[in-house]
Amino acid sequence: MDALSKLSRRQSLQSLVLFGAGAVITGLHRPTAAHAQATSPSAMKDEDIFQFALNLEYMEAEYYLRATTGKGIDAADIGADAGGVNGGRKVSFRDKAISEFADELAENELAHVRFYRKTLGSQAVARPTIDFEGGFKAVATAAGLPEFDPFANDMNFLLGGVLFEDVGVTGYAGAAPLLQNKEFVEATAAILAVEAYHMGMARAQLDQMGEKGQKAANAVSAARDKLDGPGDKDQGVEHNGKANLVPATPDGMVFRRTPQEVLRIVYLTDKAGVDSGGFYPKGMNGALKST
């Protein structure tokens, strides 16, 4: 059976609303009538959701590969007519443990890209245009981090990574229980676990860097929280003088974020109806691309 045919075409509206790949939030939000109409089951297929995830995995893989090797994803893994990538260079790591962690991150995220491309087959979207330079400059301005360059040193690299790692965990948590095909439920749960390892490790390393790392990570969290909509939907690595390494609900569960909230973060906008900007200056590829 072709891998794409395994994807269920009967995905419910609930899965479209809950699936996201974004940073932590404090609860689930039901769609407005307008949003429900825009994402009706007849207009969306499971393929669209997996394409959305692939767009995000492209960005993560490019970030870590450029930081560890000085170059991005090979041409064989980006699709035809792929967009370019602006910014990114090899980091001169000083801490051996962080350098080895970065290598592992790059390997894992490239594997995720390849998994989605193999699963989607002919419907795998090509890599979208990605702008690290402009995106991180805007994030730094919003977070009050002057002269921020995520490729300059160990701490900055981790800060840039946390921006993305808080993306993957909650998205897979929202998708896993909603997928109808058992094989894809298992795969989603497995990728969720890897992304959670990434996020926890990066947050722990920033916390161990002391006040400077903690304040910078919390500033990124606060800036991100302003983009996704009303309410306090993010958690920094330090709270009330104590480490906050595992962002979780009061029930000890992973938070979730909708695709629209994710897009507001990566497009760096707090407005609805936007289909490009920030890290994706030409927007994501695929049907699910508007805030």
Q: Residue 275: inside a domain, yes or no?
A: no
Q: State the pLDDT at residue 79.
A: 97
Q: Please, are residues 51 and 286 in contact by the beta-carbon 8 Å criterion?
A: yes
Q: Residue 287: inside a domain, yes or no?
A: no
- What range defines the domain where residue 28 resides? 3-267
Coil, strand or helix: which one is 68? helix
The DSSP-derived string for 75-109 is: GGGT-TTPPPEE---------HHHHHHHHHHHHHH
Q: Residue 272: inside a domain, yes or no?
A: no
Token pair for 31: 């769609």
Mean pLDDT by 10 residues, the chain (291 residues): 44 33 30 38 64 93 98 97 97 97 98 96 97 93 85 95 79 66 78 90 93 89 77 77 85 82 88 95 94 87
pTM confidence score: 0.83
Q: Residue 283: inside a domain, yes or no?
A: no
The amino acid at residue 97 is A
Q: Residue 24: inside a domain, yes or no?
A: yes
Coil, strand or helix: which one is 152? coil
The DSSP-derived string for 168-227 is: HHHHHHHHGGG-SSHHHHHHHHHHHHHHHHHHHHHHHHHHHT-HHHHHHHHHHHHHHHHH
Q: State the pLDDT at residue 176.
A: 63
Q: Please, are residues 238 and 218 in contact by the beta-carbon 8 Å criterion?
A: yes
Rounded alpha-carbon distances, angstroms, from residue 247 to 140, 170, 233: 22, 10, 11
The total number of structural domains in the chain stands at 1
Q: Residue 203: inside a domain, yes or no?
A: yes
Q: Residue 27: inside a domain, yes or no?
A: yes
Instruction: Rounding to the nearest 10 degrees, give the CA dihedral for residues 21, 57, 112, 149.
Output: -110
Q: Residue 289: inside a domain, yes or no?
A: no
